[in-house]
Amino acid sequence: MTTTFQAVDPTTGAGFGDAIAEMSKAEVDSLITKAAATAKDFAATSPAKRAAILRAIAAQVEASREKLIEVTMRETALPNGRLTGELSRTVFQLEQFAKMVESGTHYQAVIDLPDANWVPAARPDIRKANQALGLVGIFAASNFPFAFSVIGGDSASALAAGCPVVVKAHPSHPNTCRIIHEAVVAGLVSEGISADAFGMAEGLNPEITHWIATAPAVTAIGFTGSGMVGKILIDICAKRANPIPVFAEMGSLNPVFFTPNVLSEKAVDLAKAAMDSALLGSGQFCTKPGILVIPSDATGDAFLTEVESYLATLAVAPLLNKGIADRFGSAISKLASAGGIKVLTGKPSDAGFGVTPTVFIVDWKDTKANHELLEEHFGPTTVIIRTDYSNFTAVASAMEGQLTTAVHATGADQISDLVDVLANRSGRVIMNGFPTAVAVTAAMQHGGQWPASSSQTTSVGLDSIYRFLRAVAHQNFRDDLLPPALQSANPWKISRSVNGEVSKGAL
């Protein structure tokens, strides 16, 4: 029995477009087998070739821009400006990886030549370089239909590492996934790489996730999504006969702290900016500020007054899908009914998956009775916590791991203890800014602390490539049997550490 599904327009809740067939287990297994069969050849591509492949994919995605924006707007109800920027970021990210791979830095090649005087015994010739893990299973996220979907950061970094990919398309934007998949395959094929190296599984069936995660040929998982699904994946992969790493980015509360001094200076501006950040993309960002911590004094009152009046003027676009809208609705009802909570709302919208932006205000002491206040709620909501400024560091210390933390302060504020705690709790600490923008740069860190992420790694920025590489040392090897990155002639002219000194030359 073949079942099919359709895209859904979030502005109406009605299905539209082609009927898409649910893939069977045999079909998904076949994608995996075919992709795994390309692993050795794909991993062996030279830096120049791999860079050319990434650039060809970027060009194909860019060439699909017009069609993509149109289809993706209809599938996600996200505005043109946002999608245009996100697509540029997605293309840019592929180009940045191409540049990195071309330089060969990702091999992290280290050559220690023989040393008869090494301690405690003579040292042999040892040469180490990173190599691709093998086939990577990737799960597309609903909220970034380009940047964290079929050819988002996870896929781009896996391909850059030299790993073939099987990606699970997100059924919340299935036609977007198809266009992107076609573009990726066209890019691969234009560079002579088999289309099998990038398989895409389609369907609503949650079993697809299990099929991918339990397949013996899959060597690692890249996941961006909810803590609930992330934890299921981690559990499945830990129970395999050969456990594999799950690099899961599972969302975050991203608390933002405001000192009395900074609110004295600009409570109105910061209240508006905080609301804009919390409601951006209808609050469907993993970096949404889900908690704002403000002082329980007059400066905090001024902030709240502005939040109330500004919020009342704001509406948001419909949520991405029915599941998100339903979960948002029930979370809001539950939170609103808790003791000690004040509820503020924006403009309602009820067409399709439309919702009303809703902000909660609560004293820190009242959060203990309702732990849901300190959990992530996807959608246009945030919790404003009031407490004495002297208590800020204690509040930060009580929080779990986060993708980001932020503090707004003036030069007069003595906040080094608070900053230490925030750095201890998160992968990125922001000063006088909001978390809802993640630059794709070498210095970016997105992840690193449980439960926001499942490993010490980052899922954004160039270092995300290292999730899909592992080091292998070759000892006393015949030169022609070494990987090119380690051969004495340095045929790829990459940067290597030779006896502790960086060199791009031959030995």
Q: Which of residues 143-182 bind its own copies (CB under 8 A)?
A: none
Query: Which lies closer to its own copies via its Cβ, residue 56 or residue 248?
Result: 248
Name which position in 72, 175, 382, 449 contacts its own copies (CB under 8 A): 449
Should residue 398 be labelled a site residue for its own copies when binding is judged by CB under 8 A?
no
CB of 331 to its own copies, least distance (A): 22
Should residue 428 be labelled a site residue for its own copies when binding is judged by CB under 8 A?
yes
CB of 396 to its own copies, least distance (A): 14
Should residue 423 be labelled a site residue for its own copies when binding is judged by CB under 8 A?
yes
Phi first, then psi, for residue 360 (nearest 5°) are -110, 140
Name which position in 27, 46, 92, 273 contacts its own copies (CB under 8 A): 92
Taking CB under 8 A as the criterion, which residues in 22-61 touch its own copies? 40
Out of 249, 306, 376, 501, the active site residue is: 249
Active site residue 286: yes
Name which position in 458, 459, 464, 490 contacts its own copies (CB under 8 A): 458
The two three-digit tokens of residue 503, written as one number: 């060199």
Torsion, Cα 472 476 480 482, to 10 degrees, reads 10
Should residue 330 be labelled a site residue for its own copies when binding is judged by CB under 8 A?
no
How is 405-430 classified by DSSP, letter by letter?
Answer: EEEE--TT---HHHHHHHHHHEEEEE
Name which position in 162, 300, 380, 401 contacts its own copies (CB under 8 A): 401
Phi first, then psi, for residue 401 (nearest 5°) are -65, 145
CB of 467 to its own copies, least distance (A): 8
Phi first, then psi, for residue 306 (nearest 5°) are -70, -40
Taking CB under 8 A as the criterion, which residues in 477-506 touch its own copies? 477-478, 481, 483, 497, 500, 502
Query: Which lies closer to its own copies via its Cβ, residue 181 or residue 467?
Result: 467
The candidate with the shortest Cα–Cα distance to 380, out of 424, 328, 440, 448, is 328
CB of 432 to its own copies, least distance (A): 6
Out of 163, 177, 237, 286, the active site residue is: 286
The candidate with the shortest Cα–Cα distance to 373, out of 355, 385, 358, 357, is 385
CB of 420 to its own copies, least distance (A): 7
Where does this chain touch its own copies (CB under 8 A) — which range of 53-61, 199-207, 260-268, 411-419?
A: 411-419
144, 175, 227, 374 from 371: Cα distances, Å: 28, 38, 16, 6
CB of 135 to its own copies, least distance (A): 12
Number of residues that bind its own copies (CB under 8 A): 77
Name which position in 6, 88, 261, 391 contacts its own copies (CB under 8 A): 88
CB of 353 to its own copies, least distance (A): 26
Rounded to whole angstroms, the Cα distance separating 387 from 70 reads: 46
Name which position in 13, 17, 329, 451 contacts its own copies (CB under 8 A): 451
Helix ranges (H only) for 104-206 are 153-161, 174-190
Query: Which lies closer to its own copies via its Cβ, residue 12 or residue 456?
Result: 456
Should residue 290 be labelled a site residue for its own copies when binding is judged by CB under 8 A?
no
DSSP 453: B
Where does this chain touch its own copies (CB under 8 A) — which range of 29-37, 284-292, 316-324, 447-455?
A: 447-455
DSSP 403: E
Taking CB under 8 A as the criterion, which residues in 94-153 touch its own copies? 110-112, 118-121, 123-124, 126-128, 131, 133-134
Rounded to whole angstroms, the Cα distance separating 19 from 261 reads: 57
CB of 126 to its own copies, least distance (A): 4
DSSP 435: S
Beta bridge partners of 128: 110, 473
Name which position in 336, 351, 471, 489 contacts its own copies (CB under 8 A): 471
Name which position in 65, 327, 474, 493 contacts its own copies (CB under 8 A): 474
Total H helices, total E strands in the chain: 15, 19
Rounded to whole angstroms, the Cα distance separating 263 from 265 reads: 5
Taking CB under 8 A as the criterion, which residues in 225-244 touch its own copies? 234-235, 238, 242-244
Q: Are strands 136-139 and 220-224 parallel, antiparallel or unpaired?
A: parallel
Q: What is the largest CA-CA distance in the chain?
A: 77
Name which position in 427, 436, 452, 485 contacts its own copies (CB under 8 A): 427
Which amino acid belongs to residue 505? Answer: G
Query: Which lies closer to its own copies via its Cβ, residue 275 or residue 438?
Result: 438
The candidate with the shortest Cα–Cα distance to 137, out of 124, 127, 150, is 150
Q: What share of the chain is helix, strand, coil (3-state, %, to 5)?
A: 45, 20, 40
Torsion, Cα 272 278 279 284, to 10 degrees, reads 170
- The residues carrying an active-site annotation are 249, 286
